[in-house]
Every structure is written in C-alpha cells, then in structure tokens.
Amino acid sequence: MSTGAGGMALAMAAAVRSGERSARSVVEEHLAVIAGREDEIHAFNLVAGDAALERADLLDRSIGAGDDPGPLAGVPVALKDNMCVRGVPTTCSSRILEGWRPPYDATVVEHLSAAGAVVIGKTNMDEFAMGSSTENSAFGITRNPLDATRVPGGSSGGSAAAVAAGFAPLALGSDTGGSIRQPAALCGVVGVKPTYGAVSRYGLVAFASSLDQIGPFATSVADAALLLEVIAGHDPLDSTSIPAAAPDLLGVLGRGVEGLRIGIIEELSGSGPRSLEGIAPDVQARLAEAAAALEAAGATVEQTSVPFTVYGLSAYYVIAPAEASSNLARYDGVRYGLRVEAGNAVDMNTATRTAGFGDEVKRRIMLGTYALSAGYYDAYYGKSQKVRTLIIEDFLRAYESYDLLLSPTAPTTAFPIGAKTADPMLMYLNDVCTIPSNLAGHPSMSVPFGVGDDGMPVGVQVLAPANSEPTMFRAAAVLEAAAGGGAS
C-alpha cells in the first residue's frame, strides 16, 4: 500500500546520494526480502543478484569519488521480462524465446542506468503480455503478495507483485489493454500508462504495436512520478516517440485540484442506465468516495457520458490479436529462440510454434490471423479501427468539458487463482475499464483507494488527455492523500 507523499524510492536515492546509505546495503536488503518470499510469490523469472551487487558497488565507488549517479541512485528496479537487457535472458514468459539473450539494452534500461538505478531482476508475466492474471506464463503463476490464493492481475503481474511484496520499490511494466493499471489495482500499488509515444518502446518485445506502452509501478504517486520522469522523453530509435522532453511531474504534485473539472465516466462506473454490467458494488462505493475526495479538495466532479467506451473491449480483441499475429510471425524457429527440428522448413516452423507458444497466445494469433484474412479484413479489423476512431472522438468531446475523467480501474478486487482460466471471455472483462485509454493513446493511472468487502485493494483510475500527465498526477496525489487519511 502507499507509503505517502514522500516516496520510498525518493528517500532511498537521497540517502545513497548523500552517503548516508550505501547502494550495496540497499540492494542486499531487497535481495534478503526476495529470498524470504519469492518461492511463495514467484514474482521473478530471474533475480539478478550478483549483477545487482556489482552495480551497487560501482555506484558506491562513484559516489565516493564525488560523482552524482542520478535521481535513482542505488534504487532497485524490477523489469517485466519483455524488456531487453543486454546479455540477460529475455523470455516474455514463453518457451519460444528459450536461450535468447538480447544484444542490446532497451531505451528505458539505458535511462534507468543513466539515472543510477539497479536492475534487480526480470519479472514474470502472462506470455507475450497476453492475459489479465499472470496465469498464462510458461514458467508458472505469480501470486498476489496480499493473499497468495489470489491472482496479482496481469499481464504485468510479476512487476506489481514485486513492488507490493517489497522486493523492489519500483518496477516497469507494459500496458497494451490495462496490463499496468489492472495489476496495480489488484496489488494495491500505483500504476501508470503514459501517453502513447511518451516513453520509448525500443527494446520492448512487441505484442500490439499501436497499443503497447511502458510505464511505472511504485508504492507512492511521488515515486511513480520520479520513475516516469526518468524513462520518458524523445527517442529517435522509436518512430512513434513523441518529440518532447520528459514532463515535470514531481514539481506539480502539491498543486492540488482546485478549479479542475472532473467527469466520472458513466459507462464504466457501474451506476446509471448506460453503464456496463459487472462493476462490483464495493468498487462502485470506492469510486464514489474518490469523487467526493476530489470535490472536497476543490474540483468540480460530475457524471458524464463517453458512449463508445462500451465497445472498447470488442474493438480491442480484434485489433490487438491482429497486430499480435503479425508481430509474432517472427518466431519461426530460424532466427532465434526455440527450434524444434523436423524434416522440412514448414514442418519445423509448425512444430516450433506448436511447442513454443501457450494456449492463450495461440488463441490470439488465430483470432488475429482470421481478422486480417481476405474476405474478413473489412468486416472485422476495418470495422474495429472505425470504432477506435469513434472512441477517440468521444474522449476528445469529453475533454472539451473536463480536465480529467474518473472510473474504476478493475471491475472487482483480486479474484482467486483458477477462477477465470476456463472462460477466456470472463477473463477479458477484467480490462473493460482500462482498454479505452489504450485505444485512444491517452494517459491514465491507477491509484489505490481503500479496500473492497474482502479486504483486498481497490484502484481508482484517473484518465487524462494526451500529454496531460502533470494534471493527472495532481489528482492522483490528492486521491493518495485522501486514501491515507482513512478511506475505507
């Protein structure tokens, strides 16, 4: 849960930079926490203990010589296992990438290194980021640190669990349809999906290229702001990167929401005649309390309609699999990763993909290939892109009247392991509140706000127009303060 406005990572980096603490002691402390619970939680595919200690010693020598390593000096950061780290196995939790070690660092990894951070491990995930519970990994499930009988959410469940368990104060995940925000809500941490293009995707293994975005997990809004400031900014290696500098987020956290106009999205709220079904009553109650907290802090809050958000789930599950079927065609047993030998190239390719991909990945590849096939392209993929445009236009209209929008992050609190694995459609519904932001390319974030009837965390989602992260973080800081002040 939140550590309040100060931020654990901010304090840790300040102590290391001043010489009050050594980077080695910080890393050793976190490795000890990992050793104590990782067997139970399985947040990691790889714990980089020796490399992290070597990096910490290097930072300590640098500080001893009078250098300043940067704003994340000595802070352990966990990376979702779809981000490339040079020479370190990167699996996407799939057998098909067996033995692959990237020859380069992702841009976000370079930014972390330049800021003095320490990569402490690669986290478990739903295979190729396809899932909402981290039960689709080839290397076993991840458990929610707050209740090990429940899922941590997905697909970035390992990163969310790592932060919630205290294995690392910060983590990076990727968000294609809610894969940062939904696990953040279920694990009771802060999770941010930035504006599409605000953070470089260079070195992120692609799932759906028009939707994927890297973002932070943290135990506080301030720490999430710090990490996003570090990883954001223009990258010429990513053709979709926005040509703008990283935003100032830490500097705006104390500004409050006085005078802001905030709309509660009726279709995603669980209340009102146009609302989608399935938003649990305890989640609806926390949303109402969050709205009241923002109002008490000086914002104008009222319900509004963003009509085409109700079609977001349907459009997403055509567009994302279509892009995945194209992106995953590269795993052919020829260039890298797993290769199952066979009598000819076609049989080898088939055998490799049959053995290497899990059921959910195969399901989405087949759905996507069908949607892109001759005779069906216009009926499915083309129509879904038109719906996407209508969603974007709906949001633009809403933002003419409101500075920010508000909704639940997930329809329910964390559900039991195995509860939804037999019904893919039931599983897909976990992303109903988060998908619209991905389709629009807009930023949104999940802030812990109290607990449900079962005592598990509830997340409230703050949505903002493109490139409006500073305003979004202002509201998030107010919600965090209100939740810390006794929100039920």
Q: Element (H or E) spanning 15, and its range? A: helix 8-18
Annotated active-site residue 155? The verdict is yes
Q: In what order do the strands lie in the sheet with 44-47?
A: 44-47, 118-123, 76-80, 170-174, 214-218, 190-193, 444-451, 457-463, 404-408, 261-265, 300-304
φ/ψ of 407, rounded to 5, equals -160, 170
Q: How far is CA 70 from CA 111, 114, 467, in A?
A: 10, 7, 25
The CA-to-CA distance between both ends of the chain, in Å, stands at 13
Q: Which of 2, 22, 80, 200 is catalytic?
A: 80
Closest CA to 29 of 61, 67, 75: 75
Indicate if 80 belongs to the active site. yes
Closest residue by Cα to residue 83 from 115, 51, 45: 45
**Which amino acid, one-letter code, is at 419?**
A
Task: State how far the Cα of 379 lies from the Cα of 391, in Å rounded to an integer.
Answer: 18
In DSSP notation, 63-106 reads: HHTT----TTTT-EEEEETTB--TTS---TT-GGGTT---SS--
Query: Residue 52: which H helix or E strand, with range?
Result: helix 49-64
Strand partners, 298: none
DSSP three-state, residue 413: coil
Say if residues 112 and 350 touch (Cβ distance below 8 Å).
Answer: no
Among candidate residues 132, 156, 179, 200, the one labeled active-site is 179
- Which two structure tokens, joined as six digits, stand for 322? 């279509």
Task: Tell how far CA 282 is from the center of its chain.
Answer: 23
Question: Which of the following is catalytic: 22, 93, 94, 155?
Answer: 155
- Residue 36 belongs to what H/E stretch? helix 23-41
* φ/ψ of residue 112, rounded to 5: -60, -45
Reduced to 3 states (helix: H, G, I; strand: E, B; else coil), residue 107 is helix
> Phi and psi (nearest 5°) for 217?
-115, 145
Question: Which residues belong to the active site?
Answer: 80, 155, 179
